[in-house]
Amino acid sequence: MTTQITAPETPNAPTTGSAPTGLIPLPEHIGRALATGGALLTVASAFLAWTWTSAFPGDLTVYGYPGGLQVLVLIGGALTALFALSSYSVKGLGWATPAGADAAIKLAALAAFGTTWYTVLAISVKLGGVVNLEPGGYLAAAASLTALLGALALPFERPDPDPIDPEDSGWNQFKHKTAHGKRQLQAAFATGTIRPLGKLPSYAEILIIIAAMAIGLTVFTYGIGTAYDELFIGFLITVGLCFTALLKAGLVARISAITSKHRNITMIGAFVAAAAFPFTQSDDQYATIGVYILIFATVALGLNIVVGLAGLLDLGYVAFLGVGAYTAALVSGSPSSPLHIQMPFWASALLGALVSMIFGVLIGAPTLRLRGDYLAIVTLGFGEIFRIAVLNTDGTSGPDITNGSAGISSIPNLNILGFDFGQEHTLLGFTIGRFANYFLLMLLITLVVVIVFRRSSDSRIGRAWIAVREDETAARAMGINGFRVKLVAFALGATLAGLAGAVQAHVTYTVTPEQYMFAHVVPPNSAFLLAAVVLGGMGTISGPLVGAALLYLIPAKLQFLGDYQLLAFGLALVLLMRFRPEGLIPNRRRQLEFHENTEAPAALSKAGV
C-alpha cells in the first residue's frame, strides 16, 4: 500500500482571484496588498509626530526622527513589510521566509499593531484623551490596523498529520512523528514551500553568525536599558511577537542550522558579544543587572545537568549556591566572619565548589534511590534544612559559624593579581565600574560552566544521563549503573552552583539565610531556577541562559506593577508554556514529544544548540 504525502499548497508567491480563506472574508490577493501597504505606512508614520507635548516619555513630538516607542513600531512595521514583499517573490528576499511567509506576516503585523495601539492608548490615558494625538499617531493606528486586517485575510492552512495508532507504544509514536516530519519537510522542499539556502561559503556563514550575535547584543542592551515602564512593555510586545514571527518564517531554524555547523565559532562569538556589553554602558546601573543575570544563568545551567540531562527534579538546588557563598564568605577575610581567615579568591572559589560537591554527595547518596515526586520532596527538604541550619548557627541555639539571621557582611572586594574589582578601571578608552568588573569575571566562570556542560553532555556519562532520564529501567538493563550516574550528575551540578556562589558572595557584600529560600522574591531561588531551565529549554546550553535572563530581567522591570507584579509574571509564564511548552530553545527530541505534527522548520534545528 502506497501512502501519498500531500505537501502544503501555499507557496510564497501570491495567488490572484482566490476565494476568502482567512479569518477576514477578503480575497487573498487583496489581504496581501493591504498587509503590504499598511506595513509600509506604519513605517512611514514612525517618522511623524504622534503627540504635541514632550510630557509623554520618549518625546514623540519630533518629525523625521523616531524616538521611544516609535522605534519599536518601526521595527514591527519593517518586519511585516519584509515578509509581505517576500511573499510576492521579490528577488533577494526569499531567504527571509524559508518556511513560507503567511504565518510570519500575521505575527509581525500583530506586533506592529499591538505596540502601536498600546502607545496610542498610553498617550491618551497619560495626557488626558485622544485629543493629544497628532496626525502621525492617527496614521500609525490606522495603518497598523489595516496591516493586521490584511494579514488576517491570508489563509490559515496546515497539512494534516498522518494518523497515529493510539495503541502504539510511546517509542513507536515518536518514530512515527519523526518520519512524518521528515516526509513533510522533503515534500515542502520539493514544492518550493520551503526554499533551501543552498551551499554558502564558510566566510558567509561566519558573517551570518556575527550578524546574529550583534543583533542579540543590541536587543539585550536595548531591553535592559529601557528608561521607562511604557517602553519596556512595548519592548516585550515587539520582541515576543517578532521572535515568534521569525520562528514561523523558518529564519531562526535556518540560522540555528548554521550555528550548529560552526559550534565553536558560535560559542566564541556569543561570549565576545557578551563581553562587549559593559562597554555599551555609561555607568553601573545596568551592569548590575547584567552580573546578577550571569550568576542566575550560570546556576541555572548547572541545574540543567541535574534536571535537563539526568531527569532529576531538584527543588532545593539553590542551597548549593548558598553553600558556596557561605564557604567563600567565611574565608574572605570579612570582619564578621567567625573564622577570621583570608584566602585568595581562586582558593576560596575552589573551596566553595568542593564543599558544595561534598554536600551534593552527602545528600544524593541516601536519596537518589528515590524517583519522581519523592526525590523532589526530599530535595525541597534539604533546601529548607540548609536555610534553617545557617539561621540557627549563631552562637545561641547552635555553634557560632554563620552569625544567624545577620549573615556575614562587609565581604571585601576581590583583588586578583593587583586588579581591584571594587574600583573603576579604564580599558581601551572605556571606563568600567565595579559591577562591570564582576560581570567580566562572571562571564569567564560562565564560559567554564558552558564548556563543562558541553563536554559532559557529549561524553559517555552524558549519554548515560540521557538514557536514565528517558527510561531508567531500560538503562539498567543495558548495563548502566543508574544510581552512580545520577550521583555524578548531582555532585557536578552542586559543584557548579558552589562556584557561582563564591562570586555572588563578593558581588553582594553580604550573605544571609533569606537569600536562599525556595521562593524568595528576588531570584535566584529554587523556583526561579527550575522555571528558567524549563522555560529556556531542558537539555540545551543556550536555553537556560536565555530563560534565566528573561526571568531575572522581566521582574526587575515590572516593579512598577507593585502587588500585581507576580500576577503579571505568572500569566506571562502560563501563556508561554501554553504556546511553547518545549521551551524557547528546545531540544529536538522534546519538541517532537510536545507536538504531534512537528512543523518542517523545526526539523532543521539540532539538539543542544
Kindly report, residue by residue over 160-178, the tens digit of the pLDDT. Answer: 444 444 444 444 444 444 4
Q: Which three cell numbers stand for residue 238?
A: 515587539
Looking at residue 37, what is its pLDDT? Answer: 94
- Grid cell 526539523 is found at 603
Looking at residue 437, what is its pLDDT? Answer: 87
- Angle at Cα 508 formed by Cα 507 and Cα 509, nearest 5°? 95
Q: Is the pLDDT of residue 56 over 70?
A: yes
Least confident range from 106-110, 424-428, 590-594: namely 590-594
Looking at residue 186, what is its pLDDT? Answer: 47
Residue 314: pLDDT band with limits 50, 70, 90: confident
Residue 552: pLDDT band with limits 50, 70, 90: confident
Least confident range from 258-262, 376-380, 561-565: namely 561-565
**Does residue 313 come out as left (phi exceeding 0), alpha (psi in the -120 to 50 range) or beta?**
beta
Q: Is the pLDDT of residue 313 over 90?
A: no
Looking at residue 19, what is its pLDDT? Answer: 54
Closest CA to 507 of 231, 248, 238, 298: 298
User: Is 325 in contact with 501 (CB distance < 8 Å)?
Assistant: yes
Q: Is the pLDDT of residue 8 over 90?
A: no
Q: What percent of the chain has pLDDT over 70?
A: 82
- Beta bridge partners of residue 415, listed in sequence order: 420
User: What is the total residue count of the chain?
Assistant: 609
Class of residue 45 by CB neighbours under 10 A (exposed 0-12, middle 13-18, buried 19+)? buried
Least confident range from 17-31, 141-155, 274-288, 435-449: namely 17-31
Q: What pTM did the predictor assign? A: 0.77
Q: Is the pLDDT of residue 151 over 90?
A: yes
Q: Is the pLDDT of residue 594 over 70?
A: no
